[in-house]
Chain A
Amino acid sequence: MTVEIPVEKWPGQVREITLGATADEGGTRSHTVTVGGETTLPFLHFEGEIPHPPVVGIEIASRRPDDWSPLLLETWSDVVDDPAAWAKAAEEAGADILLLTLSLEDSVDDATSAVRQVLEACDLPLIVFGPGQADKDNELIVPVAEEGAGERLVLGVCEEKNYRTIVAAALAHDHLVNSRTPMDVNLAKQLIILIHDMGLPLEQILMDPTTGALGYGIEYGYSVMERLRLAALQGDSMTQQPMLVTPGEEAWKAKEAKVGDDVPAEWGDWGERAINWETLTATSLIQSGADLVVLRHPETVQRVQKTIDALMAEAGEPELVAA
């Protein structure tokens, strides 16, 4: 008996977007990273094309992030005080891209010099996020855009209440932006439209639908991402942006990852638990269609990449088809 696997022919495709620029393209990266292009749901190789595997980024900071878990600070050890050294370490830890988060305490000079040092220290395409306060983000991201001109950085974070300045900076210096909305299909779409209306090509917009960590609303984020991807494949142009999410930041906010003391003994080893938390958050989101996941712990990067490799391995004929 033959079991036939139903194959869906989707009319839509996720947009292909390239991060970073090589010397030929006006930048200084040794290679670029392209995401998107899927014509099927995640990892359904028998159904459509998945031309690029999901990409793993590592988050680093412009100055020592004292609010991070001590586990992370211990693991990265000395490099957390030096963005250049941290960038190099992250590249060695297996990152495909880097996310540099600026600090509220950064001056414009601090920010531009951090970006410059990171670009010089490593070869990876770079994402730069402001500290997350509208005025400060705008103050720092505009000069960063100028400093990184030609590098096709991803600038962020664009949110409904604050996107114009960042988008204008991206337009002026040919960068990309990250469009972040709070876990809602329509809102995600609306911000893409607004950013695109300013004149930024869709090939320069990443979609960040936001998510929650495992145990903290991941189901909600997962289903929003799944719906966005279904809409993209059904041909809804404004949802066809590759999705970038930050499970590292989310997972390390969860009590299970953050806290080592005064927790039940059954929770087991703190370090192992924290890495598991981040890994499971990230791999779940990859299953829901994430194209870029940004992580914090180097061990997680290894595990998530292993999962991606396994999922990307062409299985040949699905095993279910038997004579």
Chain B
Amino acid sequence: MRFEPTDKAVEVRAGSLIGEAAHEAGIDLNMPCGGQGRCGRCAVIIEDGTVRRRSSLRLSDEDIAKGYALACQTVIEGDAVVMVPPQEKIERRLTTDKTAAEVTVPFDYDPLRDQPLRAVYLEIEPPSLADQTDDWSRLQRALRREHNIDGVETDLPMLRRLGSILREADWRVTAVLEMDAYHRPDGPPRLVDVVPGNRTERLYGVAIDIGTTSNVVYLVDLLSGRVEVQRVDYNAQIARGEDVISRIIYAGKNDGLGELQSLVLKTLSKLLERVAKRARIETTDIYKATVSGNSTMLHLFLAVPPESIRLTPYITTVNQSPAVMAGELGLDINPNATVDCLPGVASYVGADITAGVVSSGMADTEKLTLFMDIGTNGETVLGTRDWLIACACSAGPAFEGAGVEHGMRATLGAIEEVWIHSDTFEPTYRVIGEREPKGICGSGLLSLLAELFVTGILDKSGDLQLDLDTPRIREGEHGDEYVVVWADETDTGGLASKHDIVITEVDIDNLLRAKAAIYAGYTVLAESVGVDPALVEQVLIGGAFGQYINIEKAIQIGLLPDMPWEQFHFLGNTSVRGSYMALLSRNVRQQISEAAGRMTYLELSADNTFYDQFTSALFLPHTDIAQFPSVEEILTNGRTETTEREKVCAA
């Protein structure tokens, strides 16, 4: 048995594990999970010889074809040469499947066919003593003669500026027109702006997603359909409450509503200025905005009181708000631009979900699809192109790092993945930005919960086992806790004020409740339409958090249904994508409205089976273990034997 690149050779008996041979050869392989085949950190490349992979849970078929094998799970059957890759390389390999979907133009975009906005160049005949036509009629006449555009309408502010623009530009201007809009599909065309000279080579709009936590702006070139710049920032409303409920309560206070609206407008202004600057344009060159977001966020954006969303029977003031002018709203783009808020379905199934359902392709597929937005509101949609049913369960912000003792958002210094050694109970973790950790983000919490469970530190009811032999499990200020990082290894403050990063009993309860709510929502949804959950052909996962979830661990704790991993697709922010597509195309805009109309909303608080399903899911992985056969196998065997992938590899 020889190891590259160090060229160390050892003699071991056939049937030994590569990990054992490496140890014998004095090679230090990382095995944070304790050699259980769970973490994939001990991957090596078989260069030559015969080995047998007992488990290759962490490897794709492609990896295996390249010769990758897990040192802790691979048996040596004869002479072999093994390459030990540098650790950083493994890190990179393990993270590649988590990158967010790239923004591509979603369909064969033709601005003349798809886009209601148009910029046309006009050389207008100047007035004279012989031609006494007024400016406005003269412009209309030019549009009719040069571009065959008839019946254009305008408004008073435009007319007040019109005369001077035309004269300053020497009657050569670009007119920006909105030929139609969702709320007036048959026109008439509306004059949005008149600018001097020929500016028809550019036309911009923005797609906006107002998330409870993050706001996203895409600056879109409406001629090519491409996203020119995208920027994201935290919603400044966070300072007034982490979740929608606390914001609704805040909105009910003395001028809270006005304050929340100005906070989100401020955040958007900042983003709009940044995208405009990057594209070397003015924010007033942006002639249209399409906005998606959950129902509460859109109410706050429009400063419509959201109070009734919180109170039974949970009714919004408006699910499909009329288009408004940017100037009227105070959105920092051209004041005469239309701001189109996408339609929602109910208080807790908003435009972000209808936009997601369309942009993910769910609204147009024959496959039985489950769409989950894993976040505070845990929206879930089940259906096909023919029918859609949705529900939302208040999962709480635990998976977003809020409401958890040492939780944080997924930024620099957040622990995003954890492995625990099953014999020593010592953790290994990966931190965003590869630095000393400050706290744990949602994906880190999920991964931590799963590792605590499969290593037996947590029992099935989520109780920490105090009798295990490790100082990491102890009684803390807020009940029992597990120490993930000792104070001196953290970046939690000055030297004197550093503290241990722990997960407490209370945190675990919050996480369990969040996962139980999401899973129960999905179960009730499937039951309500009499669909066997096993028939679901694909699971689409949206939400900013969605793209970082480790499927295996999410299944182990019973957050996601136990299905083959290839049936899960992580789509990242499907809400802003839907907003982007609707900005480009009146067809997509129409589809989103149709999807909203087609979607049946199931109010879980009115469904007497939800509580039962919730209690059933409030267990690890679930009270009915038969729903999680792969987890049952791990619990029984200690590891998964993927016989299907077990291949003899001889390079």
What is A's interface to B at a CB cutoff of 8 Å? 160, 184-187, 189-190, 193-194, 197, 236, 238
Q: Please determine whether A193 and B460 come into contact, CB atoms closer than 8 angstroms.
A: yes
- Interface positions of B from 578 to 625, Cβ below 8 Å from A: 612, 615-616, 618-619, 623-625
Contact partner, B461, options A184, A185, A190, A236, Cβ 8 Å: A190
Q: Please determine whether B460 and A190 come into contact, CB atoms closer than 8 angstroms.
A: yes
Closest to B616 in A: A186
Extra pairs beyond A190-B623, A193-B619, A238-B623 (6, CB < 8 Å): A186-B615, A187-B615, A190-B619, A193-B460, A194-B460, A197-B460
Closest to B617 in A: A186
Q: Could you say which of A185, A190, A193 has the most chain B C-beta atoms within 10 Å of its C-beta?
A: A190
Would you give 9 A-B contacts (Cβ < 8 Å), ordered by A? A186-B623, A187-B615, A190-B460, A190-B619, A193-B623, A194-B460, A194-B461, A197-B459, A238-B623
Q: Please determine whether B460 and A186 come into contact, CB atoms closer than 8 angstroms.
A: no
Dominant SS among interface residues on chain B: loop
Number of A-B contacts (CB under 8 A): 26
Contact partner, A160, options B461, B612, B624, B625, Cβ 8 Å: B461
Q: Please determine whether B459 and A194 come into contact, CB atoms closer than 8 angstroms.
A: yes
Rounded to whole Å, the gap between the CB of A140 and the closest CB of chain B is 21
Q: Please determine whether A186 and B612 come into contact, CB atoms closer than 8 angstroms.
A: yes
Rounded to whole Å, the gap between the CB of B146 and the closest CB of chain A is 72
Rounded to whole Å, the gap between the CB of A280 and the closest CB of chain B is 28
**How far is B616's CA from A238's CA once the two chains are assembled, in angstroms?**
13
Ranked 9 nearest A-B pairs via Cβ: A186-B615, A186-B616, A186-B623, A189-B623, A190-B619, A190-B623, A194-B461, A193-B460, A194-B460
Query: What chain B residues lie within 8 Å of A187 (beta carbons)?
Result: 615
- Interface positions of B from 603 to 649, Cβ below 8 Å from A: 612, 615-616, 618-619, 623-625
Query: What chain A residues lie within 8 Å of B460 (beta carbons)?
Result: 190, 193-194, 197
Rounded to whole Å, the gap between the CB of B105 and the closest CB of chain A is 49
Query: What chain A residues lie within 8 Å of B459 (beta carbons)?
Result: 194, 197
- Interface positions of B from 460 to 477, Cβ below 8 Å from A: 460-461
**How far is B613's CA from A185's CA once the two chains are assembled, in angstroms?**
11
Rounded to whole Å, the gap between the CB of A60 and the closest CB of chain B is 33
**How far is B624's CA from A160's CA once the two chains are assembled, in angstroms?**
17
Closest to A185 in B: B612
Query: What chain B residues lie within 8 Å of A193 (beta carbons)?
Result: 460, 619, 623, 625
Query: What chain B residues lie within 8 Å of A236 (beta carbons)?
Result: 624
**How far is B616's CA from A160's CA once the two chains are assembled, in angstroms?**
15
Rounded to whole Å, the gap between the CB of A207 and the closest CB of chain B is 14
Closest to A238 in B: B623
**How far is B625's CA from A194's CA once the two chains are assembled, in angstroms?**
12
**How far is B615's CA from A19's CA once the two chains are assembled, in angstroms?**
31
Rounded to whole Å, the gap between the CB of A184 and the closest CB of chain B is 6
Contact partner, B615, options A184, A194, A238, Cβ 8 Å: A184
**How far is B619's CA from A189's CA once the two chains are assembled, in angstroms?**
11
Closest to A191 in B: B461
Rounded to whole Å, the gap between the CB of A171 and the closest CB of chain B is 15
**How far is B614's CA from A185's CA once the two chains are assembled, in angstroms?**
12
**How far is B615's CA from A160's CA once the two chains are assembled, in angstroms?**
14
Query: What chain B residues lie within 8 Å of A194 (beta carbons)?
Result: 459-461
**How far is B623's CA from A236's CA once the two chains are assembled, in angstroms?**
11
**How far is B622's CA from A186's CA once the two chains are assembled, in angstroms?**
10
Query: What chain B residues lie within 8 Å of A186 (beta carbons)?
Result: 612, 615-616, 618-619, 623
**How far is B619's CA from A228's CA once the two chains are assembled, in angstroms?**
18
**How far is B616's CA from A189's CA once the two chains are assembled, in angstroms?**
9
**How far is B461's CA from A194's CA once the two chains are assembled, in angstroms?**
8
Rounded to whole Å, the gap between the CB of B636 and the closest CB of chain A is 12
Closest to A187 in B: B615
Query: What chain A residues lie within 8 Å of B624 (beta carbons)?
Result: 236
**How far is B615's CA from A193's CA once the two chains are assembled, in angstroms?**
14
Rounded to whole Å, the gap between the CB of B535 and the closest CB of chain A is 21
**How far is B459's CA from A190's CA once the two chains are assembled, in angstroms?**
11
Closest to B459 in A: A194
**How far is B460's CA from A197's CA once the two chains are assembled, in angstroms?**
9
**How far is B612's CA from A238's CA once the two chains are assembled, in angstroms?**
17
Closest to B625 in A: A193
Query: What chain A residues lie within 8 Å of B625 (beta carbons)?
Result: 193
Closest to A188 in B: B623
**How far is B615's CA from A104's CA once the two chains are assembled, in angstroms?**
33
**How far is B626's CA from A238's CA once the two chains are assembled, in angstroms?**
11
**How far is B460's CA from A76's CA once the two chains are assembled, in angstroms?**
45
Query: What chain A residues lie within 8 Å of B623 (beta carbons)?
Result: 186, 189-190, 193, 238
Rounded to whole Å, the gap between the CB of A165 and the closest CB of chain B is 11
**How far is B618's CA from A161's CA once the two chains are assembled, in angstroms?**
15
Q: Could you say which of B460, B619, B623, B624 has the most chain A C-beta atoms within 10 Å of its C-beta?
A: B623
Closest to A160 in B: B461
Rounded to whole Å, the gap between the CB of A65 and the closest CB of chain B is 33
Query: What chain B residues lie within 8 Å of A185 (beta carbons)?
Result: 612
Rounded to whole Å, the gap between the CB of B458 and the closest CB of chain A is 12
Closest to B626 in A: A236
**How far is B623's CA from A190's CA once the two chains are assembled, in angstroms?**
6
**How far is B461's CA from A167's CA once the two chains are assembled, in angstroms?**
16
Query: What chain A residues lie within 8 Å of B618 (beta carbons)?
Result: 186
Closest to A231 in B: B624
Closest to B456 in A: A197
Closest to A192 in B: B623
Rounded to whole Å, the gap between the CB of A114 and the closest CB of chain B is 30
Rounded to whole Å, the gap between the CB of B48 and the closest CB of chain A is 45
**How far is B461's CA from A108's CA once the two chains are assembled, in angstroms?**
31
Query: What chain B residues lie within 8 Å of A189 (beta carbons)?
Result: 623
**How far is B616's CA from A193's CA once the two chains are assembled, in angstroms?**
12
**How far is B616's CA from A190's CA once the two chains are assembled, in angstroms?**
8
Rounded to whole Å, the gap between the CB of B216 and the closest CB of chain A is 39
Rounded to whole Å, the gap between the CB of A223 and the closest CB of chain B is 12
Rounded to whole Å, the gap between the CB of A185 and the closest CB of chain B is 7
Rounded to whole Å, the gap between the CB of B617 and the closest CB of chain A is 9
Rounded to whole Å, the gap between the CB of A22 and the closest CB of chain B is 36
**How far is B374's CA from A128's CA once the two chains are assembled, in angstroms?**
48
Rounded to whole Å, the gap between the CB of B280 and the closest CB of chain A is 60
